[in-house]
Amino acid sequence: MRPIPRALCLAALVAAAAPAAAQTPEIRPGLWEFTMSAAKGMSQRICFTPAMVKDMKGVAAKGDPSSDCKSSGEKVAGATRTFHVACTRPTKYDADIALTVHGPDHFSMTQDFVTQHGGKSQAGKMSFVYRRVGDCPK
């Protein structure tokens, strides 16, 4: 299976963080690390500032300037939110996402997705685990 582009992973992270931030408890600002089930042993980090955590929906709306990802169909059941993300650029990508907030420093997400590369569709499922690992670098 061809790897998911980093930009789409980050777009999914930001799209996921918007509903996560709306949960109680809210996520805390700081340095967050996420790991993907499809990339064993690999992790990436992103810094969420206090302003970003306060307005995650605004961050999600801005996102990557080359991306047009939009979320829809949000539903809430306890600590879990489900929603759909659709993008047409930079790559066509559709995903049904379930996100569970475990606390202010931890949330997880699963995605059932379909993406297109070179006119060929690929379907798959990925799981992500996000943990706050400290303060953002100065």
Instruction: Identify the band that residue 13 occupies on the pLDDT scale cut at 50, 70 and 90.
Output: low
Residue 1 located in a structural domain: no
Tokens of 62: 């801005």
Kindly list the distances between the CA atom of residue 72 and the CA atoms of 14, 85, 108, 123, 138, in Å, as whole numbers in the listed order. Answer: 14, 7, 19, 20, 35
Residue 29 located in a structural domain: yes
Question: What pLDDT is stored for residue 134 in this prediction?
Answer: 96
Q: Is the pLDDT of residue 68 over 90?
A: no
Domain range for 121: 6-134
Question: How many folded domains does the chain comprise?
Answer: 1
Question: What pLDDT is stored for residue 60 in this prediction?
Answer: 54
Sign for the pseudo-dihedral over CA of 44, 12, 23, 78: negative
Left (φ > 0), alpha (ψ -120 to 50) or beta: where does 63 sit?
A: left
Mean pLDDT across 55-69? 64
Question: What pLDDT is stored for residue 105 in this prediction?
Answer: 93
CA atoms within 13 A on the CB side of 33: 7
Q: 88-130 pLDDT, tens per residue?
A: 887 888 999 898 889 889 988 899 999 988 889 999 998 989 8
Tokens of 25: 């408890």
